[in-house]
């Protein structure tokens, strides 16, 4: 029998470390640890699940080597700068290795990418160069000579504790703007002593750290995560990396883990969904050629075909899976058995980044179990019971699948002719096509399930009562927010999302008579870009200042969206406008108390949505368990809808089984 993806599942030797395959779990902050920086049971379960999924090497998230000034997170960050933390790491290592993977720990010092509110003092850096980022604004102080030696010793001490904890390898975090990269960067390191200035002196600190750590590893592998380009004017380039990486390897590094960026350019660290798969591979190939050592490369490789080809072509030796393993911990096993279509796809929506950025535990928009691996299994508590789900958007489809998993006889109702709901609305605008991956995944799962589908059905209270369900999940979504508007004439008017779904035919437009979109949120701006791509001329009229366009969109995606909108000659913005009336072939806008006439070929409304509670209100007091989820509760994102579905199923398990915790 031929193995699916033979290059991916070929063993590899990295220095003294032998891996069962070429798949590596990338280090990603989980915010699941204890407040004191020690390992928690939740963290152990989180990593164990991904090791069980078949990954060859699990790299544990950035771990602080120096509690004095090395922290880089407002939420609990792991640390290994003291003997007291070794026990927790030992348990974590046992869980990872017991599940079949090798265990590596990433050691980190934040330097200027720390916060005074976290460390209680001014952050340190090679030089006192301010950091001006949307995520952090700080002015560090320059490290003294003796402090540099102390930090080098801290890295070595942490490496010794890692060995004592049982780790198979250590990775140094020399990417993403942390201290090792700060010393290398000509933008940040402006010292005039032996630790900075020219290339050789900027390289000294990373080389000293590598040598000190290697000396404590006792024959274990040393990996180095490196931003091979920071994409800043005057900053580090891939040409610099081609000079730096061989020197690191000469000093003791066994493999280079390819990454990019810093806090100044987070969009090249955790790329938005518009970035194509495998975009870092050309850089990885260059570093591989420059060093002759194995390289590990991430960079939005979401599917086994892409990863297999990257290794077969010699671009990289291993593929690092980050967000992809949040979405589906079983990615490697599914790939190995040739079932790539069953992989729950990461769409680069960055819901995970939003969660950790808000100092919550890691989560995934598509995998509600992510970060909750200690939750009890759903179980077959629904056997002999009937469940009805109203609405087949992402939350409704997820709820139907989990209820089917729980043993219910499930009926899923959708008023449109197809499943998908707002997932289709979200996936249709330019550069968001990856969301179709998730829609296709859910529909494939539903086709294989026992869920009974009813499309093109308007569900009312009478229909629900006639079905007599044991459980009802309302995922019927939202409706347009009320809008007081004078209307006359026959100018076409419709919700903007109908244009995205293809439910309406728009007339021709021109510069003089454009399509007017009222509302500058995410839907309004995305619809404008969608229509412009079709050849329309568009005006966005928004009540807010233009700086608030798409204000609730994922930040990195929003940054690129606004750049595209601003550069698109087919789209004009009229901010601080209120739509007052639609009259014949034009609309009336109010601007600073004055009336403005704007000709229009059609009007698309994107002024906002509100939860549709009509059906829930009509069914209040019914004798079956009813739970509303997603936009039927509060208009939010795909992740909230899927999370609500997961919580609803667990709530139904408790509600229907009524477990009694005490007998006294």
Nearest to 571 by CA among 606, 527, 508: 527
**Given the residues 178, 224, 438, 518, the one annotated as active site:** 178
Crossing angle between the packed helical segments 394-405 and 638-657, to the nearest 10 degrees: 30
Q: Is 528 within 8 Å of 517 (Cβ atoms)?
A: yes
Nearest to 183 by CA among 203, 167, 200, 198: 203
Q: Is 239 within 8 Å of 32 (Cβ atoms)?
A: no
> How do 625-628 and 452-455 pair as beta strands?
unpaired
Rounded Cα distance, 160 and 26, in Å: 22
Rounded Cα distance, 180 and 202, in Å: 10
Which secondary structure element, helix H or strand E, spans residue 414, and what is its range? strand 409-414
Which secondary structure element, helix H or strand E, spans residue 515, and what is its range? strand 515-518
Using CA atoms, how far residue 621 sits from 385, 422, 538, 617, in Å, is 20, 29, 47, 9
- Give the 3-state secondary structure of 321-343: ECHHHHHCCCHHHHHHCCCHHHC
Give catalytic status of residue 46 as yes or no: no
Rounded Cα distance, 113 and 136, in Å: 7
The residues, any chain, with a CB within 8 Å of residue 454's CB and separated by 6 or more, are 411, 412, 413, 414
Q: How many CA atoms lie within 13 A of 524 on its CB side?
A: 31
Rounded Cα distance, 367 and 53, in Å: 14
Rounded Cα distance, 325 and 101, in Å: 14
- H-only helix segments in 278-393: 281-291, 304-312, 323-327, 331-336, 351-357
Nearest to 506 by CA among 603, 606, 607: 603
Strands (E) in 247-316, as ranges, are 255-259, 295-297
Tokens of 644: 């609500």
Residue appearing with tokens 């470390």: 17
Rounded Cα distance, 470 and 48, in Å: 36
Number of H helices, E strands in the chain: 21, 30
The residues, any chain, with a CB within 8 Å of residue 131's CB and separated by 6 or more, are 112, 113, 137, 138, 139, 140, 263, 264
Q: Is 257 within 8 Å of 281 (Cβ atoms)?
A: no
Rounded Cα distance, 353 and 365, in Å: 10
Q: Which residues are catalytic?
A: 178
């Amino acid at each position: 029998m031929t193995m699916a993806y033979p290059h991916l599942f070929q063993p590899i030797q990295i220095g003294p470390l032998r891996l069962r395959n070429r798949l590596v779990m990338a280090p990603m902050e989980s915010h699941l640890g204890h407040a004191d920086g020690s390992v928690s049971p939740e963290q152990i379960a989180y990593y164990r699940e991904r090791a069980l999924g078949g990954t060859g090497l699990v790299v544990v998230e950035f771990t602080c080597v120096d509690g004095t000034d090395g922290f880089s997170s407002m939420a609990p960050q792991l640390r290994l700068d003291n003997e007291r933390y070794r026990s927790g790491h030992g348990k974590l290592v046992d869980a990872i290795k017991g599940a079949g993977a090798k265990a590596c720990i990433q050691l980190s010092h934040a330097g200027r990418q720390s916060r005074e509110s976290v460390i209680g003092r001014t952050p340190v850096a090679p030089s006192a160069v301010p950091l001006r980022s949307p995520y952090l604004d700080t002015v560090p102080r320059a490290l003294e000579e003796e402090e540099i030696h102390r930090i080098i010793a801290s890295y070595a001490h942490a490496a010794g504790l890692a060995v004592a904890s049982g780790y198979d390898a250590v990775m140094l975090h020399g990417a993403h703007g942390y201290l090792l990269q700060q010393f290398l960067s000509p933008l940040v390191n402006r010292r005039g002593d032996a630790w900075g200035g020219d290339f050789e002196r900027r390289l000294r600190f990373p080389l000293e750290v590598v040598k000190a750590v290697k000396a404590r590893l006792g024959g274990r592998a040393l990996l180095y995560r490196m931003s091979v380009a920071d994409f800043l004017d005057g900053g580090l380039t891939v040409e610099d990396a081609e000079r730096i990486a061989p020197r690191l390897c000469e000093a003791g590094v066994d493999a280079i883990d390819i990454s990019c960026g810093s806090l100044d350019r987070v969009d090249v660290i955790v790329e938005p969904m518009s970035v194509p798969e495998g975009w870092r591979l050309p850089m990885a190939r260059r570093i591989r050629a420059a060093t002759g050592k194995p390289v590990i490369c991430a960079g939005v490789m979401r599917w086994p075909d892409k990863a297999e080809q990257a290794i077969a072509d010699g671009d990289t030796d291993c593929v690092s899976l980050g967000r992809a393993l949040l979405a589906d911990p079983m990615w490697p096993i599914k790939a190995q058995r040739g079932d790539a279509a069953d992989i729950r796809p990461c769409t680069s929506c960055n819901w995970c980044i939003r969660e950790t950025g808000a100092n919550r535990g890691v989560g995934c928009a598509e995998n509600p179990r992510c970060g909750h691996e200690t939750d009890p299994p759903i179980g077959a508590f629904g056997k002999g019971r009937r469940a009805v789900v109203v609405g087949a958007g992402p939350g409704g489809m997820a709820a139907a699948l989990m209820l089917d998993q729980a043993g219910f006889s499930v009926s899923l109702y959708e008023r449109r002719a197809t499943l998908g709901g707002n997932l289709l609305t979200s996936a249709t605008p330019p550069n968001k096509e990856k969301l179709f991956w998730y829609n296709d995944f859910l529909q494939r799962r539903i086709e294989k399930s026992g869920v009974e589908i009813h499309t093109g059905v308007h569900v009312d209270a009478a229909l629900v009562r006639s079905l007599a369900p044991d459980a009802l999940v309302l995922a019927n979504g939202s409706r347009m927010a009320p809008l007081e508007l004078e209307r006359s004439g026959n100018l076409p008017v419709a919700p903007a999302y109908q244009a995205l779904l293809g439910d309406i035919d728009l007339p021709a437009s021109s510069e003089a008579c454009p399509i007017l979109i009222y509302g500058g949120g995410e839907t309004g701006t995305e619809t404008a870009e969608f229509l412009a791509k079709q050849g329309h001329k568009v005006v966005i009229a928004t009540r807010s200042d233009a700086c608030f366009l798409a204000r609730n969109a994922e930040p990195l995606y929003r940054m690129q969206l606004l750049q595209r909108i601003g550069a698109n000659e087919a789209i004009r913005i009229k901010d601080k406008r209120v739509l007052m009336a639609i009259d014949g072939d034009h609309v009336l806008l109010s601007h600073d108390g004055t009336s403005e006439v704007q000709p229009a070929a059609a009007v698309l409304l994107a002024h906002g949505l509100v939860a549709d509670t009509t059906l829930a209100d009509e069914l209040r007091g019914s004798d079956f368990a009813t739970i509303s989820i997603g936009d039927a509760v509060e208009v939010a994102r795909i992740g909230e809808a899927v999370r609500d579905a997961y919580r609803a199923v667990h709530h139904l398990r408790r509600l229907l089984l009524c477990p009694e915790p005490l007998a006294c």
